[in-house]
Amino acid sequence: MTAFRATNVLLNETEVRVLGSLVEKDITTPDYYPLSINAVVNACNQKSNRDPVMNLNEEAVRQALHSLNEKGLAGAASTADSRVPKYEHRMQEAFNFTRRETAVLCVLMLRGPQTPGELRGRTERMHRFEDLTDVQATLQKLMTREEPLVKMLPRQPGTKEARYAHLLSGIQASWDAPVAPVQEAVSNSADSERIARLEEEVANLHREISDLKQELAGFRRQFE
């Protein structure tokens, strides 16, 4: 199923990382934007605010920028005062996002599926949401576009909030799969074993205390 709207072409993970990094730096560090190729590589590979952390080389980033340019999502910036080529995103031209929609989609691109609560905290530098209702309303707008850009995922066991994911890379089969049922069963089994061991240890302690009481009573009788 296709997910990218402007050209009906899905983005791969490198293109998503490059595009998300350009959007983030445009908003959070406007004085250093557009970005040189080295700056784009560093933004893609930074260890903070990225999930997963990647290790892209310059050639991979160049290829992604070339592909994004063909799709109308990023390209070389017109910077006459710079000797080094700079690159910028073109998300606004492609989708006509509001600032809050840009912030939410950017964080989903850079950090993967997240809950509304996580999104509210992690979009703070790009847009300040007053409350979770504001985040949820933004997600709803992205989900109800003519061709949706966001999908709500099945809620994970033991969690109160559902997670949301962007659709620029299409629908991932793993999203609808049961969440680690085997691990959950193993965890429950391990917990049961630990409890059983603790109960046995407590029972042994009770027996030892009872034996000590009997020995102490016998010892006292010797002096009566």
Q: How far apart are the first and last CA of the chain?
A: 91
pLDDT, tens digit (0-9, with 9 covering 90-100), for 60-95: 999 999 999 999 999 999 876 678 899 999 999 999
**Whole-angstrom distance, CA of residue 155 vs CA of residue 53:** 24
pLDDT of residue 196: 65
Q: Would residue 1 count as lying in a domain? A: no
Burial class of residue 174, CB neighbours in 10 A (0-12, 13-18, 19+): exposed
Q: Same domain for 97 and 189?
A: no
Q: How far is CA 45 from CA 10, 27, 161, 193, 211, in A?
A: 22, 18, 29, 42, 65
**Whole-angstrom distance, CA of residue 13 vs CA of residue 165:** 13
Q: Would residue 7 count as lying in a domain? A: no
Q: Same domain for 66 and 31?
A: yes
pLDDT of residue 221: 63
Indicate the number of domains in the chain.
2
pLDDT of residue 158: 80
For the domain that residue 156 is a member of, what is the CATH number? Answer: 1.10.10.10
Q: Would residue 80 count as lying in a domain? A: yes
Q: Same domain for 130 and 213?
A: no
Q: Would residue 2 count as lying in a domain? A: no
Q: Same domain for 152 and 94?
A: yes
Residues spanned by the domain of 59: 13-176
pLDDT of residue 95: 94
**pLDDT by residue, tens only, the chain of 224 residues:** 333 445 456 899 999 999 999 999 999 999 999 999 999 999 999 999 999 999 999 999 999 999 999 999 999 998 766 788 999 999 999 999 999 999 999 999 999 999 999 999 999 999 999 999 999 999 999 999 999 999 999 888 887 889 999 999 998 766 655 544 444 444 454 565 667 667 667 766 767 776 677 666 666 666 66
Roughly what angle, to the nearest 10 degrees, separates helices 132-143 and 99-111?
80
Q: Would residue 157 count as lying in a domain? A: yes
Q: Same domain for 222 and 111?
A: no
Q: Same domain for 122 and 60?
A: yes
Q: Same domain for 184 and 172?
A: no
- 63 contact partners, CB below 8 Å, separation of at least 6: 14
Both structure tokens of 2: 């296709």
Q: Same domain for 29 and 110?
A: yes
Q: Would residue 151 count as lying in a domain? A: yes
- DSSP-derived letter for residue 32 is G
